[in-house]
Homo-oligomer: A and B are copies of this chain.
Amino acid sequence: MIRAEAADMPDDSPLKTPDRLRRRASRLLSQLSTRSDRLINEGLARADARKWHYAVLASLQECGPASQAELSRRTGIYRSDMVGVLNELAERDLVERAPDPDDRRRNVITISTQGRRHLRRLDKVLDDLNDELLAPLSPAERDQFVQLLTRLLDHHARTS
């Protein structure tokens, strides 16, 4: 399997990336993540959105209205960046930002009907993009990949 590439690429050059580098999980992870990010960002840009938009809308849809700070915790977006994301979403009326009468420090963010519609579109877009990302894997392998990622992430999220 190692020399699968030797089939279509003459190995007469010492140009190839050294094996030591290619096998490090950390490196594979970061490289694949870069490509994945690019794929996702480009796909979402075509749909006039960013990935943070999706994260916020999905969170609102699934868990209901919330303050900005709570949204930050749910989605992992820093609350300093949340401001801008919500500005963009509110500008397009995908989301409503209203002061919380119970706690005047808070804003209550609610997803709008348009927001729900937009979210449905984005869900479709992301399904397709993730399909493209995982294209070389069989369904079983995809599940396993997701499961491995989840376990690793959970571990490092709890140990943070």
Interface residues of A (CB under 8 A from B): 5, 14-33, 35-37, 39-40, 51, 55, 58-59, 61-64, 66, 70, 73-76, 123, 126, 129-130, 133-137, 141-142, 144-146, 148-157, 160
Contact = CB atoms under 8 A, between A and B. Distances in A.
A151 to B, nearest CB: 5
B26 A146 contact: no
A14 B16 CA distance: 50
A120 to B, nearest CB: 12
Given A15-B74, A26-B37, A26-B129, 15 more contacts: A14-B63, A14-B64, A16-B63, A17-B59, A18-B59, A25-B134, A25-B145, A26-B133, A27-B55, A29-B32, A31-B153, A35-B157, A137-B148, A141-B148, A144-B148
A19 B16 CA distance: 40
Given A135-B155, A136-B155, A144-B144, A150 B18 contact: no
Q: Tell me the interface secondary structure of chain A in the complex.
A: helix
A160 B36 CA distance: 11
A148 to B, nearest CB: 5
A77 to B, nearest CB: 11
A160 to B, nearest CB: 8
19 contacts: A15-B74, A16-B63, A16-B74, A17-B59, A17-B76, A20-B62, A21-B59, A24-B130, A26-B130, A26-B133, A27-B51, A28-B146, A29-B149, A30-B37, A32-B153, A133-B156, A136-B151, A136-B152, A136-B155
